[in-house]
Structure 1
Amino acid sequence: MAVTKITAPEGDLLNLLYEISPLEWRKYQQRHPEIWADNHFERVNRSEYPPYISFRFEDENKAVIERLRQAVENYPGKIFWVLNEHKRDGLPGTNWTIGPSRLWDVKEQALKLGLTPDQYLAQYEPEFGPVAYDDLEGLTKHIRQAFPEVPSSTP
């Protein structure tokens, strides 16, 4: 199966992760997605919804996960990022998510209001998302430095 390179800037980290080890599944929050509206696609601004990057490796390697975790946790950015693990019930593999720790910090408050954490942040802390998107580029560069054996795909 051919994997399409993500061209949106917030997909750069997923492209890097695929270079480190092939991915079986990937998902991410886009800052400016195209949505279907009135029989055509429109680009919308979703900057207030903080970025996250979710993925599952085809063949997970514990050493790679540990290096990735260390890189994420030691990134000296504007915000604190985390690598969260989600074991799939009854299915093989582990889904991983890299995102701002704030997404998990507000989870309980969001649930009380019937919102997801990203909806909560968009509504109550809309200034957080743009800061996180700006910081994501630095996080991606920092993770690339933690995997120097992976050739850079950028000039």
Structure 2
Amino acid sequence: MTVHKITAPEGELLNVLYEVSPLEWRKYQQRYPEIRVANRFQKVDRSGYPPYISFRFVVESDVVIAKLRLAVENYLGKVSWSLIEHKRDGLSGRNWTIKPRRVREIGEEALKLGLAPDEYFAEYEPKFGVTAYDDLVGLTEHIRQVFSEGG
């Protein structure tokens, strides 16, 4: 199976993780996705939606997950980040998501307003997404360094 390197900056962390251990599945919030509008594709700016990256390792290692969790929790940037586990009912493996901690913090407030967290940020805290995208670059470099320090 050929795995294509993600060229968008917000997907670079998935490339780093793939180098640590191959990924079976990956997904991320694109800052400038191309969407279909009137029978053609055009780029839209989703900077108001905070970034996330989700993935599942082909072979998961508790050592790698523990090291990744520490790297995410110990990163000192403009944004606090979290590593969240998603168990797959009836399926093998676990999905993992790295996203700003603030996304979970506003969940209840967004729900009260009838909004998804992304919609809440876009409407009430539009600069947070921009800050988080910028900070994701630093988080990616931090994780790259942690895993390049051996074992």
CA distance, structure 1, for counterparts of residue 49 and residue 110 of structure 2 = 13
Alignment partner of 1:41 is 2:38? no
2:148: which partner in 1? Answer: 148
For 1:32, the aligned partner's letter is: Y
CA offsets 1:19-62 (integer angstroms, 9 cap, x no match):
11011111100111111111111011110000000001011000
Are positions 1:97 and 2:86 aligned together? no
Query: Structure 1 CA distance, aligned partners of 2:116 and 2:2?
Result: 33
Alpha-carbon displacement from aligned partner over 1:90-111 (angstroms, at most 9, x marks no partner): 1111110001001111111122
1:72 paired residue number: 72
TM-score by length of 2: 0.96
How far is the alpha carbon of 1:149 from its aligned partner?
5.8
Question: Residue 112 of structure 1: CA displacement?
Answer: 2.1
Cα deviation 1:103-152 (Å, max 9, x = unaligned): 111111122222221221111111100000000000000000110168xx
Tell me how far apart the structure 2 counterparts of residues 79 and 10 of structure 1 sit (CA, whole Å).
15
* Distance in structure 2 (CA, Å) of the matches to 1:69 and 1:138: 16
1:57 & 1:75 partners in 2: Cα distance? 22
The equivalences for 1:55-70 within 5 A come to 55-70=55-70
TM-score by length of 1: 0.93
How is 1:1-155 mapped onto 2 (pairs within 5 angstroms)? Answer: 1-148=1-148
Secondary structure class of the residue paired with 1:27: strand
Among the aligned pairs, what percent are the same residue? 67
The amino acid across from 2:116 in the alignment is T
3-state SS in 2 of match to 1:78: coil
1:103 alignment partner AA: V
Structure 1: runs of 5+ lacking an equivalent: 151-155
Q: Secondary structure at the match of 2:148?
A: coil
Q: Aligned-residue CA RMSD in angstroms? A: 1.1
The number of aligned residues is: 150
Partners of 1:116 and 1:21 lie apart in 2 by: 32
Distance 2:14 2:138 in 1: 14
Which structure's residues are more often helix, by fraction? 2
